[in-house]
Amino acid sequence: MNNKGNLTDERPPLLPVIIGTGFGSGFWPWGPGTAGSVLATLIWAALAYGLGITGESLQSITFFLVIVSTILGTWATAQLQPYWGEDPSRVVIDEMAGVWIPLSLLTLQKVIYAIINPLIKGMIAVGITPNIVTFVGFLGNIVAAGFFLDAAWMLGTEQADYASCMVTVGWGGFIILAAGLFDMMDGRLARVSGKSSLFGALWDSTLDRYSELVSLFGICLIFVRMQGDMTWFWMGVVTFAAMIGSVMVSYVRARAEGLDIECKVGFMQRPERVVVTAVTAMITGFTGNIWWLAGGMILIAVLANITAFWRIWHCYVVMNAHK
C-alpha pair distances (Å), 198 with each of 78, 170, 190, 202, 239:
57, 36, 11, 6, 32
Residue 5 belongs to a domain: no
| pLDDT score recorded for residue 247 | 93
Length of the chain, please? 323
Residue 265 has pLDDT above 90, yes or no: no
What are the tens digits of pLDDT across the range 75-99?
A: 888 888 888 887 788 899 888 888 8
Q: Mark 239-270 as b/e (b = at least 16 C-beta within 10 Å).
A: bbbbbebbbbbbebbeebeeeebebeebbbbb
Distance CA 23, CA 272 (A): 27
**pLDDT band at residue 211 under the 50/70/90 scheme:** very high
Q: Higher-confidence residue: 25 or 264?
A: 25
Are the C-beta atoms of 243 and 217 separated by less than 8 Å? Answer: yes
**pLDDT band at residue 6 under the 50/70/90 scheme:** low
| pLDDT score recorded for residue 175 | 93
Q: Which of 101, 118, 139 is the last residue of a domain?
A: 101
Q: Which of 101, 120, 153 is the last residue of a domain?
A: 101
Residue 2 has pLDDT above 50, yes or no: no
Are the C-beta atoms of 301 and 268 separated by less than 8 Å? Answer: no
What is the domain extent for residue 276? 109-321
Residue 112 has pLDDT above 70, yes or no: no
**pLDDT band at residue 68 under the 50/70/90 scheme:** confident
Asked if residue 172 and residue 97 are part of one domain, the reply reads: no
What are the tens digits of pLDDT across the range 215-262?
A: 999 999 999 988 777 888 999 999 999 999 999 999 999 999 888 888
Are the C-beta atoms of 58 and 51 separated by less than 8 Å? Answer: no
Cα torsion angle, 140, 141, 146, 150, sign: positive
Number of domains in the chain: 2
Distance CA 220, CA 237 (A): 8
Asked if residue 133 and residue 268 are part of one domain, the reply reads: yes
Asked if residue 228 and residue 157 are part of one domain, the reply reads: yes
C-alpha pair distances (Å), 277 with each of 1, 156, 157, 206, 208:
43, 22, 25, 19, 14
Distance CA 22, CA 90 (A): 9
Asked if residue 84 and residue 138 are part of one domain, the reply reads: no
Are the C-beta atoms of 284 and 290 separated by less than 8 Å? Answer: yes
Asked if residue 57 and residue 170 are part of one domain, the reply reads: no
- The CATH number of whichever domain residue 267 belongs to comes to 1.20.120.1760
**pLDDT band at residue 149 under the 50/70/90 scheme:** very high
| pLDDT score recorded for residue 192 | 83
- CA 36 to centroid of chain Cα atoms: 15
Residue 135 belongs to a domain: yes
Half-sphere exposure of 65 (CA within 13 A, CB side): 25
Asked if residue 125 and residue 65 are part of one domain, the reply reads: no
Residue 313 belongs to a domain: yes
| Mean per-residue pLDDT of the chain | 85
**pLDDT band at residue 172 under the 50/70/90 scheme:** very high
Asked if residue 297 and residue 238 are part of one domain, the reply reads: yes
Q: Quick check: helix, strand or coil at residue 106?
A: coil
Asked if residue 192 and residue 136 are part of one domain, the reply reads: yes
Asked if residue 223 and residue 174 are part of one domain, the reply reads: yes
Lowest average pLDDT, out of 124-133, 166-175, 182-191, 289-298, goes to 182-191
Asked if residue 289 and residue 149 are part of one domain, the reply reads: yes
- CA 171 to centroid of chain Cα atoms: 15
| pLDDT score recorded for residue 182 | 83
Asked if residue 94 and residue 41 are part of one domain, the reply reads: yes
| pLDDT score recorded for residue 207 | 93
**pLDDT band at residue 106 under the 50/70/90 scheme:** low
Q: Which of 42, 70, 101 is the last residue of a domain?
A: 101
| pLDDT score recorded for residue 102 | 78
What one-character-per-residue DSSP string does 129-198 give? -HHHHHHHHHHHHHHHHHHHHHHHHHHTSTT--HHHHHHHHHHHHHHHHHHHHHHHHHHHHHHHHT---H
Asked if residue 189 and residue 122 are part of one domain, the reply reads: yes
Question: Number of H helices and number of E strands within the chain?
Answer: 11, 0
Average pLDDT estimate for 127-144: 92
Lowest average pLDDT, out of 49-63, 122-136, 167-181, 247-261, goes to 49-63
Residue 271 has pLDDT above 80, yes or no: no
**pLDDT band at residue 109 under the 50/70/90 scheme:** low
